[in-house]
Structure 1
Amino acid sequence: MVNREDEFLEDALYIRQLAQKHNKFFEESIPLIASENIMSPMAMEMLLTDFGFRYAEGLPHKRYYQGNYYVDQLEDRVMDLGRELFKSKYVDPRPLSGTNSNMAVLYAFTKPGDLIATPSLSGGGHISSASFGAVGFRGLKTVNYPFDIDEMNIDVDGTIKLLKQNKPKVCWFGQSVFLFPTPLKELNDVFNEIGATVVYDGAHVLGLIAGKQFQDPLREGAEIITGSTHKTLPGPQHGIIIGETSEDKWKKVQRGVFPGTLSNHHINAMAALGITLAEHLQFGEDYAKQIIKNAQLLGEELNKYGFKVLGEKNGFTKSHTLAVDVSAQGGGKYVAETLEKAGIILNKNLLPYDDNKKSQNPSGIRIGTQEITRIGFKEDDVKHLAELINDIIMKNKNIEKMKSEVAEFKSKFTEIQYCFGKFRPYQYINIYK
């Protein structure tokens, strides 16, 4: 048998080098993807623990595996922290992602052929609520809420009419482009009239909700909040379901999680989530305030430079997200790729008036301020960021020169904020010797 140990070691080292280069790339870049963030040092530490190698099927103290003495205590505490943070009756921290959370809730409250109401993709809806996402996987029919482009939000009068006519079993809210709070209060009467279960996908704005700076869905008409936990809530790539509903409905949600849509859940990520929840109870309000302040200021500055930032009449945004029409600057694909070459990382994005077929070359870009806020950006830094974007896109300055300027500017930000402990952002954690 041929000994290929050196060859396989070379493969392993190559993968390791890719990870190191990736860290270095982000260390020198400005991250503006609205669906990403970085964790605190204590939360990162949890991903390296033995929790990550174990199984814990079922609920605490009712497991199908032995060896879960400490896991049960962990999960109990994470649920306690989640209930305190979101002022909710129920929390399930087992889902593996936001989409997995959505699938579990759909499994709980629908059966194939049921009708649900959702935001459209061009109106900011998440792909899991589209016909080719989790909704389609469950075999559901959908109707989309009408969208008011001027308000950059759901059209309330049109939605009331749509819900009365169609009487969906579930009214699903929440977006991937989420500029302003959803008008749940205005729709409450029609929810009650048609007897629909109201679910709010809060993945993007979960940290803003928890920081008391966005809206409070459970007090405004929603029974269930789903979400991923790594956006404005700066935790691990994981999922969570939060409930203020009946015990019977919550049991359906729990069954939707296990055995409905997962077997084992990732215990190390749950531990990281627990630490994130504790940190957010301590620092979340200040963090959320600064995220929104930075987003609104960035919108104002880009608008001054001639960019078409949507939502101007309402202050551009009340969340972490900006939507910018860059069709006059070459389109979303060109602008996103050009900025990436200079070290500014954001994504192309459909806008409400785009056809879904334009997804690979839409009119817009999407910008998020949660990660730059996490590493210490304040108002003056946001103004300089807007200037850099203007120099790259509007003034067409030399890309290599701008890349150097971006890296030099980024080097100022040397510590993760709003958390316990100190750690340099994007540092590679070296274990292999």
Structure 2
Amino acid sequence: MDVPKELEKVIEITREQNKWRRTETINLIASENVMSPLAEAVYMSDFMSRYAEGKPYKRYYQGTKYVDEIETMTMDLINEITPSKYSDLRATSGTIANAAVFRVLANPGDKALITRVQAGAHVSHTKYGTLGALGIEHIEMPFDVDKMNVDVDKAVKMIEEIKPKFVVLGASLFLFPHPTKELADAAHSVNAKLVYDTAHVYGLVVGKVWPNPLEDGADVVTASTHKTFPGPQGGLLVTNDEELYKQVSRTIFPWFVSNHHLHRLPATAVTAIEMKYFGRDYASQIVKNAKALATALVERGFKVIAEHLGFTKSHQIAVDVKNFGGGAKVAKMLENVNIIVNKNLLPYDLPEAVNDPSGIRIGVQEMTRYGMKEGEMEEIAELMKQTVEGKNPEEIKRKVLELRSKFLDVKYTFNVDLKSSKTIPLII
């Protein structure tokens, strides 16, 4: 039988995606990363076809002895590198991890305090997402635009007055660590819990360049496994509170997850091992690159947020591009030359400006993993400047392709011959 045209099209689209995003673009999306070839090799395994409802050694299916082993090992690795006492990897995304925690901590009609939507609160923190789905009232904490952070004094006062069931820290636009200790102390004084969503910065926590929220009083930390932590898409949670851990674990399954996409487990384990041995160097270079890119953009006339604070302490920078036509226009202009960013609300935008905000958000973690350093950040800034000035896009794209062609191999991983290794279960 001839190959169906539909099948040819599927293969063609997939090849084009791989070629474009992996070899031809400078990806600066702050919520993405790339796995190592080693992690991808174990991701493509028989685990992807199997089910394992429940927890290790307490399953509702047979045939899970190796699932139990890899899941337990991965949990131990996560606890080691965080560090934490308890972890759960069954949430298939950071949003699902948040949902399970929120469901345990509050009932419909209860109150939760979150960071402002324009200041980066993830949709899962809000009435537009998980809080709304659970019927929990969303109340925004005061935000200090000058400090690009939660206003500590006003937030503490609000916690004491409102007495929420929980407070959420962490964000999608996330330049500086939130004031965990102060707000955890305030939350605990009214018998509330503090949840810290490290989806964007978990790799920086593991790499010891960002504070571990558990050490500053957070009751539970949720995370994604595919942003600064460069693993497969998925979620996790960690805590040192045994009783809270038990309650949330009983809630993930069966409330929010049945089978938890088992092929994530070996790939997450490989990534955890990579971060154990290379995480500090990787995370440190991420922050250096973010600061270098911010500085280079300012030198070229861009308005980078929080210059007076050193721009950032994370993988992200935020740029006000209103003078160049706004976030939507600039993001599209950059995509046309193969530089990928996203439009983003800035703290002083109105929520209604979500489709055409003042800003763009830039993350350097993926290009850092491909080996780019401060010098390449200078080149990227120059290419961005030429783009917003309306220079020839085809010429700029040629320069982007030339730069990217020098950075095609993933770094901060182990040099393993995947074809000859007898220990890697390849299915390719």
TM-score (norm 2): 0.96
Cα distance, 1:270 vs structure 2: 1.6
Cα distance, 1:60 vs structure 2: 0.5
Counterpart residue type for residue 417 of structure 1: K
Encode CA deviations 1:140-187: one digit per residue, 9 max, x unaligned: 101111111111111111101111111100111110000000111222
Cα distance, 1:9 vs structure 2: 2.2
3-state DSSP of counterpart to 2:63: coil
Is 1:311–2:306 an aligned residue pair? Answer: yes
- Which among 233, 236, 242 is matched to residue 232 of structure 2? 236
- Rounded to whole Å, the distance in 2 between the matches of 1:366 and 1:61 is 43
- Which among 204, 207, 218 is matched to residue 208 of structure 1? 204
3-state DSSP of counterpart to 1:214: coil
- Rounded to whole Å, the distance in 1 between the matches of 2:202 and 2:338 is 27
Q: Contact 2:56/2:68 (CA < 8 Å) preserved in 1?
A: yes
- Which among 391, 397, 401 is matched to residue 407 of structure 1? 401
Aligned position for 1:396 = 390
Alignment of 1:343-422 (within 5 A): 343-393=338-388, 395-421=389-415
Q: Contact 1:107/1:260 (CA < 8 Å) preserved in 2?
A: no
Q: Give the total of aligned pairs.
A: 420
Q: Contact 2:156/2:182 (CA < 8 Å) preserved in 1?
A: no
Distance 1:407 1:383, change over 3 A: same
- Rounded to whole Å, the distance in 2 between the matches of 1:339 and 1:357 is 23
Cα distance, 1:189 vs structure 2: 2.9
- Rounded to whole Å, the distance in 2 between the matches of 1:304 and 1:61 is 57
Q: Identical aligned pairs, as a percentage?
A: 46
Cα distance, 1:216 vs structure 2: 1.3
Q: Contact 2:166/2:193 (CA < 8 Å) preserved in 1?
A: yes
Alignment of 1:238-317 (within 5 A): 238-245=234-241, 247-317=242-312
- Rounded to whole Å, the distance in 1 between the matches of 2:123 and 2:7 is 34
Q: Contact 1:120/1:130 (CA < 8 Å) preserved in 2?
A: no
Encode CA deviations 1:411-433: one digit per residue, 9 max, x unaligned: 0113100012369xxxxxx988x
Is 1:194–2:190 an aligned residue pair? Answer: yes
- Rounded to whole Å, the distance in 1 between the matches of 2:177 and 2:82 is 17
- Rounded to whole Å, the distance in 1 between the matches of 2:130 and 2:123 is 8
Aligned position for 2:152 = 156
Aligned position for 1:427 = none
Q: Contact 2:44/2:427 (CA < 8 Å) preserved in 1?
A: no
Q: Contact 2:185/2:217 (CA < 8 Å) preserved in 1?
A: no
- Rounded to whole Å, the distance in 1 between the matches of 2:173 and 2:221 is 17
TM-score (norm 1): 0.95
Encode CA deviations 1:56-108: one digit per residue, 9 max, x unaligned: 00011110000001111001100110110111010001110111111111122
- Rounded to whole Å, the distance in 2 between the matches of 1:333 and 1:367 is 14
- Rounded to whole Å, the distance in 1 between the matches of 2:107 and 2:71 is 30
Q: Contact 1:416/1:422 (CA < 8 Å) preserved in 2?
A: no
- Which among 47, 50, 54 is matched to residue 46 of structure 2? 50
- Rounded to whole Å, the distance in 2 between the matches of 1:431 and 1:283 is 27
Counterpart residue type for residue 45 of structure 1: A
- Rounded to whole Å, the distance in 2 between the matches of 1:54 and 1:150 is 50
Counterpart residue type for residue 100 of structure 2: A
Aligned position for 1:127 = 123
Unaligned stretches of 5+ in structure 2? Answer: 418-425
Q: Contact 2:184/2:194 (CA < 8 Å) preserved in 1?
A: no
